Amino acid sequence: MEAFPNSAMQTADQQASRARKLQALGILSGFTAGAWLGAAEAPTKLVSVGISPVIISLIMVIGVFLARWSLPALILGTSSIHADVRRAPHLIIWAVLAGCLWAVANTLTIFAIRDVGLSIAFPLWNSNSLLGILWGFIFFNELRQAGWRRWAGVLGGALVMCVGAAILAIASSEQGPASHSMRGVWAALGAGILWGTMYIPYRKAYLTGMNPLSFVTFFTFGELGMMGALASSYTGIGPLWHQLAGARDVLFWLMLGGFIWVIGDLFQQYAAKYVGISRGIPLSNSNQLWGLLWGVLVFGELHGRSGSQYAQVIGGSLLMMLGVGAIAFSSASGKEQTKWKQAAQRESERYGIASEYVAARMEGRQASDERKPVRRPLDWLLVAFATEVFVFFGAMARVPRMSLNWGVAAILSVASLVLLVVCGVALWRTTRFQ
Amino acid sequence: MKENHEVANNRGLLMSVLTDIHFWVPVVVLIGGLLLLRSIH
């Protein structure tokens, strides 16, 4: 099967240059995703214990839902989402399915942390990157004809990251052995399998040309629907409402955590689109490193610990950076990208989507017959509504009395913002967020 | 006429999804995840 032709206007050199640019963009998106997904843990640390983990997860998902509709409306407008759905309506099913997978995985992690602690649970579910590599290889031609060096870079990098993650998790863990260890192990492994498999719909969507901003708006229906169903079935509607009302002064922090998480996830989606899931997932898994930076330097989580624990943290961090570096330097070759295009053509034929559209979107361009996205009053209404909700809960929020290192918090915030601006501008200039 | 065409299109689309092995892998994993959640809760 021959891959569909690229734009006839482009020479082979231009195509190769464009492909290299998109690979670099995907890697940068992966790094930015790691920073923002890690920063999302910060607001949740402001919430003291006493709220059910399922309720915490549900409130975060409500913040996520608001962000997943308002940010795409602000960036491109809902007209663009509507146009994408008309071209590839089957992807709604995939997006909702991915959202359901996310919600179940997230709930399993809560049980895993409770039963075996973060030190064992985190490395187990972090194995999702290895599963992502497997699915990428089997279903989407990723790492085909990539050569042993790239294989070693991606697989070796992911394995080194898993080891680094395990060391970091052990060093930062405060929990002792639990009574239901096997149950916790199964929950963590289950979460890893669900999250690793969730990337099948991601890759499917991006090979077929869907814009990440469109995909996440439908993804969130699965996410909120499944999370709402799980929360109400575990606690019952009445008690659920009581718990939500009782937690009103911390709702804002949890929703803010969800909002920041969405920013990270958006970049993760662009990473999955431009470097594939085999590289995109491990890169965005660097969020653990950022989460640790926030925890240790801002919230003083390791204060008073022994020198050996600090050595573990430094060693684990170095291993994670090594793994990230190995993957970042293993970008897809021309041969591998031809294989990706063959997978995209297969999708285009199966679902009857115009080849020109799929090819253009793979190159981060608009198809020639696409209209320029425009913002409508509905978009501004969505943005205004989401802002109102956040202002409402913000006014109700109680500022917790905690000792924080504000200087380091400012530095980490600025670093994350710099990454956001640099990556956002690069995405805009290169792809117009396509 | 147009409505019939749309129904046929939607049916075709659904069949394309249901006969796609890529669809069943996440579905099976989701069912497994829900069963696991039920058993440990």
The pLDDT assigned to A194 comes to 94
Average pLDDT over residues A208-228: 88
**How do residues B1-41 score in pLDDT, each as one tens digit?**
555 656 666 677 888 889 998 999 999 999 999 999 888 87
Highest mean pLDDT among A22-31, A49-58, A167-176, A329-338: A22-31
pLDDT-based confidence at A1, cuts 50/70/90? very low
Tokens 């689309």, residue?
Answer: B13
List, as ranges, residues 160-189 from A with C-beta within 8 Å of B.
Answer: 183, 186-187
Q: Is A62 a residue whose pLDDT tops 60?
A: yes
Extract the runs of DSSP E, i.e. beta strands, from A265-320.
none
The pLDDT assigned to A50 comes to 64
pLDDT-based confidence at A174, cuts 50/70/90? low
**A403 CB-contact burial (10 Å; exposed 0-12 / middle 13-18 / buried 19+):** exposed
Interface test with B, best of A106, A113, A200 (most B CBs within 10 A): A200
8-state DSSP, A3: P
Structural domain boundaries in chain A: 27-431
Looking at every residue in chain A, the average pLDDT score rounds to: 83
The partner residue sitting opposite B37, judged by closest CB among A94, A104, A200, is A104
- ipTM value for the complex: 0.88
The pLDDT assigned to A96 comes to 93
Angle (CA) A49-A63-A320 rounded to 5° is 70
Average pLDDT over residues A402-431: 90
Is the Cβ of A96 closer than 8 Å to some Cβ of chain B? no
Measured CA to CA, the distance from residue B29 to residue A190 in angstroms comes to: 9
CA distance B5 to chain A (A): 15
Token pair in block for residue A411: 């530095």
Identify which has the larger pLDDT, A317 or A350: A350
Average pLDDT over residues A427-431: 89
CA distance A189 to chain B (A): 10
Compute the residue count for chain A.
Answer: 434
CB–CB of A197 and B26 under 8 A?
Answer: yes
pLDDT-based confidence at A374, cuts 50/70/90? confident
Comparing CA positions, the residue from A358, A141, A104, A93 lying closest to residue B24 is: A93
Contact A10, A18 (CB under 8 A): yes
CB–CB of B40 and A187 under 8 A?
Answer: yes
Q: Is A48 a residue whose pLDDT tops 70?
A: no
Percent of chain A beyond pLDDT 70? 93
CB–CB of B30 and A234 under 8 A?
Answer: no
**How do residues A135-164 score in pLDDT, each as one tens digit?**
888 898 888 887 888 888 888 888 888 888
**How do residues A123-137 score in pLDDT, each as one tens digit?**
778 778 888 888 888
pLDDT-based confidence at A119, cuts 50/70/90? low
The pLDDT assigned to A110 comes to 78
The pLDDT assigned to A2 comes to 46
Pick the range with the lowest mean pLDDT from A61-65, A95-99, A209-213: A209-213
Q: Is A292 a residue whose pLDDT tops 70?
A: yes
Measured CA to CA, the distance from residue A234 to residue A231 in angstroms comes to: 5
8-state DSSP, A49: S
Nearest CA in chain A to B37: A108
CA distance A389 to chain B (A): 32
Around Cβ A300, how many Cβ atoms within 10 Å? 14
CB–CB of A94 and B33 under 8 A?
Answer: no
Percent of chain A beyond pLDDT 90? 14
Alpha carbon of residue A252 to chain centroid: 21
Compute the residue count for chain B.
Answer: 41
Identify which has the larger pLDDT, A84 or A301: A84
Average pLDDT over residues A66-70: 88
The pLDDT assigned to A305 comes to 73
